[in-house]
C-alpha cells in the first residue's frame, strides 16, 4: 500500500487536519468539513486538541516522519471539543482511540479540560492523556486524579520531544481497544 502524507487545514470551525492518510480519498463537504473515506472501517488514529497551531503541526509532522499513527487535530479546547462531540454523537463515525490534550491558554487549561470532559470521553472508549510543561511534573498526580490516563511532558529539545511522542504512541498501542484492531 502506498503511503501519502497530507496536512489539511481549513476554516476555523470544523477544520480537521489528518496526517499520513493511506490511500484515503478526501473531499470538502458543503459546510467546509474535511471528510476522509477509507477502504477500511475504523482505522485507529490519535486525536489532538491543541490551541497552538505550530505545536499541533509539529506533533503531526513528527509522528508522520517517524511512521507513527494518523492524527486528527480537532483544534483548540472549545472548537475541538465541539467537533469531537459531533463525531462522538454519530454512531457511524470513527473516533480516536486516544485523545492528546495540549492546551497552553492558561496554567490550568489542561486540568480544566480533563475535569470537564474525561467522563464523557471514557464512556465512549476514548482514552484521554495530557501534555504538560516540564515544570508541571509535580502536579502529575492531580491530572491523573482528575481523569487523565497518562501525563506526558512538552520537551524543548527535539530529540527528547521525539522520544516523548514515541512514549505516547507506545501508550496508545498498549492501551488500544481490541475492536479497533479487528479482534
What pLDDT sits at residue 177? Answer: 57
Confidence band of 182 (pLDDT split at 50, 70, 90):
very low
> Could you report the per-residue pLDDT of 104-157, keeping only the tens digit for each?
888 889 999 999 999 999 999 999 999 998 887 788 999 999 999 999 999 989
With 70 as the cut, is the pLDDT of residue 32 above it?
no
Neighbours of 40 (CB within 10 A): 11
> Could you report the per-residue pLDDT of 6-26, keeping only the tens digit for each?
333 333 333 344 433 333 333
Which grid cell is 182?
479487528
Q: Could you tell me the sign of the dihedral formed by the alpha carbons of 77, 31, 71, 51, in that order? A: negative
User: Which of 171, 46, 24, 50 lies closest to 103 in space, CA to CA?
Assistant: 50
Q: Which domains does the chain have, with CATH numbers?
A: 17-177 (3.40.50.2300)
CA atoms of 88 and 26, how far apart (whole Å): 20
CA atoms of 180 and 183, how far apart (whole Å): 7
Average pLDDT of the chain is 77
Query: Do β-strands 17-19 and 71-75 pair in parallel, antiparallel, or remain unpaired?
Result: antiparallel
Dihedral pair phi/psi, residue 74, rounded to 5°: -90, -15
For the chain, how far is it from start to end, CA to CA, in angstroms? 22
> Could you report the per-residue pLDDT of 33-45, keeping only the tens digit for each?
444 444 445 578 8
Which grid cell is 102?
495540549
Amino acid at each position: 500500500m502506498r503511503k501519502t502524507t497530507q496536512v489539511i487545514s481549513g476554516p476555523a470551525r470544523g477544520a480537521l487536519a489528518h496526517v499520513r492518510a493511506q490511500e484515503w480519498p478526501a473531499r470538502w463537504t458543503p459546510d467546509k468539513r474535511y471528510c476522509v473515506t477509507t477502504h477500511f472501517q475504523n482505522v485507529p488514529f490519535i486525536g489532538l486538541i491543541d490551541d497552538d497551531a505550530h505545536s499541533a503541526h509539529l506533533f503531526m509532522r513528527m509522528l508522520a516522519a517517524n511512521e507513527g499513527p494518523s492524527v486528527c487535530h480537532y483544534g483548540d479546547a472549545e472548537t475541538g471539543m465541539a467537533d469531537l462531540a459531533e463525531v462522538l454523537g454519530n454512531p457511524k463515525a470513527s473516533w480516536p482511540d486516544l485523545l492528546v490534550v495540549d492546551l497552553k491558554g492558561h496554567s490550568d487549561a489542561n486540568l480544566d479540560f480533563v475535569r470537564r470532559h474525561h467522563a464523557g470521553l471514557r464512556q465512549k472508549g476514548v482514552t484521554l492523556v495530557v501534555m504538560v510543561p516540564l515544570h508541571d511534573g509535580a502536579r502529575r498526580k492531580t491530572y491523573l486524579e482528575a481523569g487523565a490516563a497518562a501525563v506526558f511532558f512538552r520537551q524543548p529539545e527535539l530529540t527528547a520531544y521525539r522520544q516523548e511522542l514515541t512514549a505516547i504512541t507506545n501508550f496508545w498501542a498498549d492501551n488500544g481497544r481490541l475492536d479497533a484492531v479487528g479482534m
